[in-house]
Amino acid sequence: MTQAMPNKLPIQIIGPTTLKRARNDYTGRWARPWPESDSYLAELILDAKDALGLPPSSKAKRDEVREDTLELMRLDHEF
């Protein structure tokens, strides 16, 4: 699991625009809506950042974080 910033939940670290983009990317790629909560999606985004060696609040490597997040979302919902 990810390393969250002290005293902050994942949903407090990942902003609403990032969450919306991830949901839109998921729908665009697989033609179905993401069925889980924003809180869980924020955890997956932080997992993707962690896998790339980025701190939770990092804005670096956006394309890589996006692709890794989409892969985590897909792995969670095989179809």
What's the pLDDT tens digit per position in 8-20? Answer: 999 999 999 999 9
pTM: 0.88
Q: What is the mean pLDDT of residues 66-74?
A: 96
Largest CA distance in the chain: 36
Burial of 73 (0-12, 13-18, 19+ CB in 10 A): buried
Question: Domain locations in the chain?
Answer: 10-76
Query: With bands split at pLDDT 50, 70 and 90, how would you rate the model's confidence at 76?
Result: confident
What's the pLDDT tens digit per position in 41-68? Answer: 999 999 999 999 999 999 999 999 999 9
Residue 5 scores a pLDDT above 60: no
